[in-house]
Amino acid sequence: MINKKNFGRTILAGATAALLAFTAACGSTNSNSNSETVTEGKLTIATGEPAYSPWVLNNKPQSGEGYEAAVAYAVAKEMGYDAKDVKWTRSTFDSAIAPGAKDWDMNIQQFSITEQRKQAVDFSPSYYNSTQALVVKSDNKFANATTLAELKDAVIGAMSGTTSYQQASEKIKNDITLFNNNDDAVAALASGQIDVLVVDAPTSVNMVESGQAGSNGKVLGQIANSEDKEGTGIVLPKGSKLTEKVTKAVNTLKQNGTLKELQDKWLSSYTNLPVLK
């Protein structure tokens, strides 16, 4: 990172040029500093690789099918971007919420809004407030648990840095097995390395229905009072010129009922689950 304290001194023109070139290389990939997006006239939206149902159907966000894909296009429309002007790219979860320049304008992949993350990136208002659910294999000794207390001796896994981990450690036990991503976590469940996996409710159902949790995976239920109060927001680079516009767009979609309509369309069958207290 460049130390700006030395900029007040007179320096050689050649050094200045070199320094400016270095600054540009370390900053945004946008070639036009006056543009509000990384590619002028286009809105570049990132999501995970792969992206799963019900958030994105068939790992094709460009289809607009799945809750987050549909929300992304609805937000883009509110901001004045046609569907043809939306470009999709992929990023990891961790890199998206890390400090630094980004090669995308918005990132949508179930990011819980937290004060810690707000230090590194900007967030839109919440477009969904999920609950956390428990996935097991039907032949596991904890498969018939009806209370959280019955899981205190289970090996429980969750993705690190997520609301799933937070709720598991607060509501069930402190000793949670952590994974870098949900792919690794569900593979550990399928292979018997862990007894129970904690993920958001829609993802839990998809993991079972798609066979990711193994041939005999099942959703045990939701964790009582595990709704993410802050909710799930769209991530933008810190200080983005788009943050105010995205905020206005999400608020408009919430107020006019569009978000509720999209949730009913894409998520309703994934959230009607029993509750474990």
List, for residues 230-246, the tens digit of each pLDDT value.
999 999 999 999 999 99
Residues of the chain with pLDDT under 50: 1-32
Q: Whole domain around residue 111: which residue ranges?
A: 43-129+231-272
Which pLDDT belongs to residue 84?
Answer: 98
Please tell me the distance from the alpha carbon of residue 276 to that of residue 134, in angstroms, as a whole number. Answer: 9
Peptide bond into 202 cis (omega under 30): no
Which of 207, 223, 239 is a domain's end point? 223
Residue 19: inside a domain = no
- Considering the domain architecture, whether residues 177 and 119 belong to the same structural domain is answered as no
pLDDT in tens, 127-152: 999 999 999 999 999 999 999 999 99
pLDDT number for residue 255: 98
Residues 148 and 187 in one domain: yes
Give domain status of residue 24, yes or no.
no
Q: Residue 33 has what pLDDT?
A: 57
pTM above 0.85, yes or no: no
Decide if 1 is inside a domain.
no
Q: What are phi and psi of 82, to 5 degrees?
A: -70, 160
Domain match, 174 and 209 both: yes
Question: 113-141 burial by CB neighbour count: b if 16+ within 10 A, else e?
Answer: bbeebeeebbbbbbbbebbbbbbbbeebe
In this structure, what CATH number is given to the domain that contains residue 208? 3.40.190.10
User: Do 139 and 216 touch, CB atoms closer than 8 A?
Assistant: yes
99 and 144 inside one domain: no
Rounded-to-integer distance, Cα 37 and Cα 58, Å:
27
**How confident is the model at residue 1, as a pLDDT?**
41
Do both 71 and 195 map to the same domain? Answer: no
Answer yes or no: do 141 and 73 share one domain: no
Contact 214, 93 (CB under 8 A): no
Determine whether 212 is exposed, middle or buried from the number of CB atoms within 10 Å of its CB (0-12, 13-18, 19+): buried
Answer yes or no: do 123 and 136 share one domain.
Answer: no
The backbone torsions φ and ψ at residue 92, rounded to the nearest 5 degrees and listed phi first, read -80, 160
Cis bond upstream, residue 274 (ω within 30): no
Rounded (10°) angle between helices 67-78 and 243-255: 110
The pair of structure tokens assigned to 262 is 């999209």
* Whether 79 and 141 share a structural domain: no
Answer yes or no: are the C-beta atoms of 69 and 109 closer than 8 Å: no
Same domain, 106 and 124: yes
Q: Tell whether 119 and 238 lie within a shared domain.
A: yes
Length of the chain (residues) = 277
